[in-house]
Amino acid sequence: MKKNLEKIARENGHYSPRMVKFVYEGLGYTVKKVVTEPLHVSGQALCEGLRRLALKKWGRLAMLVLNTGGVKTTRDFGEIVYTLIKHKWMSAQPNDSIDDFNDVYDFKTVFKDKFKF
């Protein structure tokens, strides 16, 4: 039986349970709203979906909420994804890499500088 997301987050210790749940929820959101090929979601596409979902859920507070939960860069999204892969909540293709999440965008730029009311 799989561990629940909250237990996974507590064991990992780097990210709040809220952020682990957010990334998992973000996968479904990305499949529905961002990608055209739903059989595989790249790290970059998932980061884009998570950006959109964060703005939708939290608006101008998105960066604050993410940072408070331990997420400060897109690499942090990748760290959570690969933790979820390890616990069989997500899966990866052989050519996927955690490095796909490196520097996809800058949080300050997308959540503060480009924020529109």
Predicted confidence at residue 38, as pLDDT, reads: 67
Predicted confidence at residue 18, as pLDDT, reads: 96
Percentage of the chain with pLDDT > 90?
Answer: 85
**Residues, the chain, total?**
117
Predicted confidence at residue 30, as pLDDT, reads: 95
CB 63 within 8 A of CB 112: yes
Domain positions in the chain are 5-113
Predicted confidence at residue 1, as pLDDT, reads: 57
2 pLDDT more than 80: no
Helix axes 5-12, 17-33, angle to 10 degrees: 120
57 pLDDT more than 80: yes
- CA–CA distance, 45 with 104 (Å, rounded to integer): 9
pTM of model > 0.85: yes
